[in-house]
Protein backbone atom coordinates (compact mmCIF):
# COMPACT_ATOMS: atom_id res chain seq x y z
CA UNK A 1 0.00 0.00 0.00
CA UNK A 2 0.94 3.64 -0.31
CA UNK A 3 3.08 5.23 2.34
CA UNK A 4 2.82 8.70 3.80
CA UNK A 5 2.86 11.32 1.07
CA UNK A 6 3.60 15.02 1.36
CA UNK A 7 3.24 17.93 -1.00
CA UNK A 8 4.86 19.98 -2.27
CA UNK A 9 8.23 18.27 -2.13
CA UNK A 10 9.95 21.65 -2.33
CA UNK A 11 8.69 25.15 -1.62
CA UNK A 12 10.50 28.44 -2.06
CA UNK A 13 8.74 31.50 -0.72
CA UNK A 14 9.44 35.09 0.16
CA UNK A 15 9.63 36.31 3.71
CA UNK A 16 6.22 37.41 4.94
CA UNK A 17 4.19 35.11 2.70
CA UNK A 18 1.95 32.31 3.99
CA UNK A 19 2.58 28.67 3.05
CA UNK A 20 0.53 25.49 3.31
CA UNK A 21 2.08 22.06 3.51
CA UNK A 22 0.01 18.94 2.99
CA UNK A 23 0.26 15.43 4.42
CA UNK A 24 -1.63 12.31 3.38
CA UNK A 25 -1.14 9.65 6.05
CA UNK A 26 -1.28 5.92 5.53
CA UNK A 27 -4.90 4.80 5.21
CA UNK A 28 -6.26 3.62 8.55
CA UNK A 29 -3.63 5.38 10.66
CA UNK A 30 -5.35 7.39 13.33
CA UNK A 31 -2.30 9.18 14.72
CA UNK A 32 -0.55 11.90 12.71
CA UNK A 33 2.53 13.91 13.66
CA UNK A 34 4.36 16.90 12.20
CA UNK A 35 8.08 17.36 12.78
CA UNK A 36 10.63 19.68 11.28
CA UNK A 37 14.35 19.34 10.74
CA UNK A 38 16.39 22.50 10.55
CA UNK A 39 19.88 22.43 9.10
CA UNK A 40 22.24 20.49 11.35
CA UNK A 41 19.50 19.68 13.84
CA UNK A 42 17.51 16.63 14.78
CA UNK A 43 13.83 16.29 14.11
CA UNK A 44 11.74 18.62 16.26
CA UNK A 45 8.18 17.69 17.25
CA UNK A 46 5.56 20.25 16.22
CA UNK A 47 2.02 18.90 16.59
CA UNK A 48 0.12 15.65 16.99
CA UNK A 49 -3.40 14.52 16.05
CA UNK A 50 -5.15 11.43 17.35
CA UNK A 51 -8.63 10.63 16.11
CA UNK A 52 -11.18 13.18 17.31
CA UNK A 53 -9.15 14.22 20.35
CA UNK A 54 -7.86 17.75 20.73
CA UNK A 55 -4.45 18.02 19.06
CA UNK A 56 -1.25 18.33 21.07
CA UNK A 57 0.17 21.63 19.89
CA UNK A 58 2.93 21.83 22.45
CA UNK A 59 5.72 21.81 19.86
CA UNK A 60 4.53 24.66 17.67
CA UNK A 61 7.24 27.36 17.84
CA UNK A 62 4.93 30.37 17.50
CA UNK A 63 1.36 31.37 16.81
CA UNK A 64 2.28 31.79 13.14
CA UNK A 65 2.13 27.99 12.94
CA UNK A 66 -1.14 26.11 12.81
CA UNK A 67 -2.35 22.75 11.58
CA UNK A 68 -5.59 21.00 10.97
CA UNK A 69 -6.65 17.51 10.11
CA UNK A 70 -9.85 17.18 8.14
CA UNK A 71 -11.97 14.07 8.41
CA UNK A 72 -9.31 12.31 10.41
CA UNK A 73 -7.13 11.87 7.34
CA UNK A 74 -5.36 14.62 5.40
CA UNK A 75 -3.51 17.25 7.42
CA UNK A 76 -2.39 20.75 6.46
CA UNK A 77 0.35 22.67 8.24
CA UNK A 78 0.10 26.42 7.71
CA UNK A 79 2.86 28.91 8.39
CA UNK A 80 1.78 32.54 8.29
CA UNK A 81 4.10 35.47 7.63
CA UNK A 82 7.05 33.17 7.04
CA UNK A 83 10.47 34.08 8.41
CA UNK A 84 13.88 32.92 7.23
CA UNK A 85 14.30 30.82 10.36
CA UNK A 86 11.27 28.77 9.24
CA UNK A 87 13.42 27.27 6.48
CA UNK A 88 13.61 23.55 7.20
CA UNK A 89 12.40 20.16 6.09
CA UNK A 90 8.89 19.57 7.39
CA UNK A 91 8.15 15.89 7.97
CA UNK A 92 4.83 14.22 8.55
CA UNK A 93 4.46 10.82 10.19
CA UNK A 94 1.52 8.56 10.92
CA UNK A 95 0.96 5.51 13.07
CA UNK A 96 -1.85 3.08 13.74
CA UNK A 97 -2.52 4.60 17.15
CA UNK A 98 -0.75 6.44 19.88
CA UNK A 99 -2.12 4.33 22.67
CA UNK A 100 0.22 1.68 23.88
CA UNK A 101 3.92 2.10 23.54
CA UNK A 102 5.98 1.51 20.53
CA UNK A 103 3.59 2.23 17.72
CA UNK A 104 5.96 2.70 14.82
CA UNK A 105 5.74 6.09 13.17
CA UNK A 106 6.02 6.01 9.39
CA UNK A 107 7.44 9.15 7.83
CA UNK A 108 6.76 10.87 4.56
CA UNK A 109 9.57 12.22 2.36
CA UNK A 110 9.17 15.73 3.71
CA UNK A 111 8.65 19.19 2.28
CA UNK A 112 11.78 21.31 1.93
CA UNK A 113 10.83 24.89 2.69
CA UNK A 114 13.16 27.74 1.84
CA UNK A 115 12.20 31.26 2.91
CA UNK A 116 14.14 33.95 1.08
Q: Pattern of binders to other proteins over 65-104, x per CB under 8 A?
A: --------------------------x-x-x--xx-xxxx
Secondary structure of the chain: what % helix, strand, coil (to 5)? 5, 45, 50
**79 bridge partner residues:** 19, 65
20 lines the binding site for other proteins (CB under 8 A):
no
Q: Which of 29, 33, 79, 87 binds other proteins (CB under 8 A)?
A: 33
Q: Map residue 94 onto helix, strand or coil.
A: strand
Q: Which is nearer to other proteins, 48 or 65 (CB)?
A: 48
Q: Pattern of binders to other proteins over 34-53, x per CB under 8 A?
A: -x----xxxxxx--x-x--x
Euclidean distance between CA atoms 30 and 51, whole angstroms: 5
Amino acid sequence: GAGVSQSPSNKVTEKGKDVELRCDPISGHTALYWYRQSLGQGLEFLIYFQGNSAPDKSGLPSDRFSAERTGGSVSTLTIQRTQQEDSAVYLCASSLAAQGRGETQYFGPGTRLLVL
